[in-house]
């Protein structure tokens, strides 16, 4: 658990570390969102986040690069690194600081810095964010808190085997029939890595679910068609296609965030949110009714409404793409080759 560095007051329930979700900073504009983190979990953001902000013109390329920004951006964050994010329900003994509760329209967005104070000593220790367009979070300031053992037995860490659990898969469509906000953000993040992995070259997607769900999104940033660099799905439980595609779409480890790699393979890989990857590889049963026998590949049962997708194609979250791309050092060489003139 985490406690106040000033007085020792416990500020969280017992929590275990997982990888920072790729959609952390990317939600749907003017929409209310659920909590980012699952209960009893925390993650750490290694990049600078939050205020103070400075313009690119004021900062310059060299100083921006020290803040992990490698291409022009409207503003560069000079906030703390390694801020700790938890679900609001896991926070304890903190009170809002009224004069720091600014927001856009439906909640607080943390624009003025930490807005939660320790109830033990009054020290500003965290930032509550719940405004529209943001996932509900509490961000602990790394210099204001300390880690303490909870005294509870360690929870088994998530691993590659968890990707095959049905509950780990993230469906691409929301209950209201729109595209999943998590998918939109995760695809934007993955596309930034794909642009870097291919150097902005044309790509060829594998037939099936990848082309059906991601084809339109990929085409927004890369030419798609025959003769391009080949892309394929790979990962735990399915191995690597043969011959090996030029670029592999692989899952991020749910605990460490590291990309899966085939043993002894140092070729290009693009990490995908593990929940999205799991859906692409294991979409699961399309009907709630138990099946008898085995249907041919690609054939869906007709005793229940077929899964439907929105009338418009899946579009990547633009800010998720740009935020990820400018944080990759390789974007410098892409800019020199003129990729930025194509809309990146």
Two structure tokens written together for 105: 């329209």
pLDDT along the chain (344 residues), means of 10: 97 96 92 94 95 92 95 93 97 96 87 95 96 95 96 84 90 92 97 94 92 93 86 94 95 95 94 96 62 60 61 94 94 68 40
> Tokens 């930025």 identify what position?
340
Closest C-alpha to 267, from 249, 279, 282: 249
- Which pLDDT does position 11 carry in this prediction? 98
Two structure tokens written together for 24: 């952390």
Task: Give the three-state DSSP class for 214.
Answer: helix
- Is there a contact between 325 and 221 (Cβ–Cβ < 8 Å)? no
- Is there a contact between 7 and 118 (Cβ–Cβ < 8 Å)? yes
- Which pLDDT does position 293 carry in this prediction? 60
- Which pLDDT does position 223 carry in this prediction? 87
Two structure tokens written together for 13: 């329930």
Residue 153: partners with Cβ closer than 8 Å, 6 or more residues away: none
Kindly state the DSSP code that residue 235 receives in the 8-state scheme.
Answer: B
- Which pLDDT does position 243 carry in this prediction? 94
Two structure tokens written together for 278: 């799991």
Give the pTM. Answer: 0.88
Spatial distance between the Cα atoms of 26 and 184, rounded to a whole number of angstroms: 9
Spatial distance between the Cα atoms of 228 and 158, rounded to a whole number of angstroms: 36
Spatial distance between the Cα atoms of 67 and 65, rounded to a whole number of angstroms: 5
Spatial distance between the Cα atoms of 234 and 223, rounded to a whole number of angstroms: 22
- Which pLDDT does position 46 carry in this prediction? 96
Spatial distance between the Cα atoms of 90 and 14, rounded to a whole number of angstroms: 8
Strand 247-251 relative to strand 268-272: parallel, antiparallel, unpaired?
parallel
Two structure tokens written together for 74: 């409207």
Two structure tokens written together for 324: 């990820």
> Tokens 């860490």 identify what position?
157
- Which pLDDT does position 154 carry in this prediction? 79
- E strands present in the chain: 2-4, 16-17, 41-45, 53-55, 75-77, 83-86, 94-96, 116-118, 124-129, 137-140, 145-147, 203-204, 229-233, 247-251, 268-272
Two structure tokens written together for 318: 């633009």
- Which pLDDT does position 225 carry in this prediction? 75
């Amino acid at each position: 658990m985490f406690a106040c560095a000033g007085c020792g007051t416990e500020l969280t329930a017992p929590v275990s570390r997982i990888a920072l979700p790729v959609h952390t900073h990317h939600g749907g504009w003017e929409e209310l969102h659920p909590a980012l983190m699952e209960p009893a979990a925390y993650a750490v953001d290694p990049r600078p986040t939050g205020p103070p902000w400075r313009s690119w013109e004021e900062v310059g390329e060299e100083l921006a690069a020290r803040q992990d920004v490698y291409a022009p951006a409207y503003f560069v964050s000079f906030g703390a690194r390694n801020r700790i994010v938890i679900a609001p329900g896991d926070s304890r003994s903190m009170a809002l600081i009224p004069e720091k509760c600014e927001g856009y329209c439906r909640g607080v967005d943390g624009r003025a810095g930490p807005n939660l104070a320790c109830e033990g000593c009054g020290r500003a220790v965290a930032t509550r964010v719940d405004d529209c367009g943001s996932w509900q979070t509490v961000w602990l300031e790394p210099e204001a808190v300390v880690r303490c053992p909870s005294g509870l037995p360690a929870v088994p860490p998530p691993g590659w085997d968890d990707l095959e659990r049905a509950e780990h898969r993230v469906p691409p469509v929301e209950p209201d029939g729109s595209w999943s906000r998590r998918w939109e953000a995760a695809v934007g993040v993955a596309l930034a890595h794909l642009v870097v992995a291919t150097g902005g070259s044309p790509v060829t997607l594998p037939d099936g679910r990848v082309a059906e769900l991601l084809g339109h999104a990929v085409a927004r940033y890369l030419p798609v068609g025959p003769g391009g660099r080949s892309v394929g799905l790979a990962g735990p439980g399915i191995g690597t296609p043969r011959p090996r595609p030029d670029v592999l779409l692989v899952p991020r480890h749910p605990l460490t965030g590291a990309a899966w790699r085939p043993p002894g393979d140092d070729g290009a890989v693009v990490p995908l949110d593990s929940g999205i990857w799991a859906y692409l590889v294991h979409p699961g049963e399309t009907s709630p009714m138990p099946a008898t026998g085995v249907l041919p590949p690609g054939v869906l049962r007709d005793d229940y409404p077929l899964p439907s997708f929105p009338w418009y194609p899946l579009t990547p979250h633009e800010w998720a793409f740009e935020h990820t791309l400018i944080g990759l050092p390789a974007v410098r060489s892409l800019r020199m080759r003129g990729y930025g003139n194509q809309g990146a």
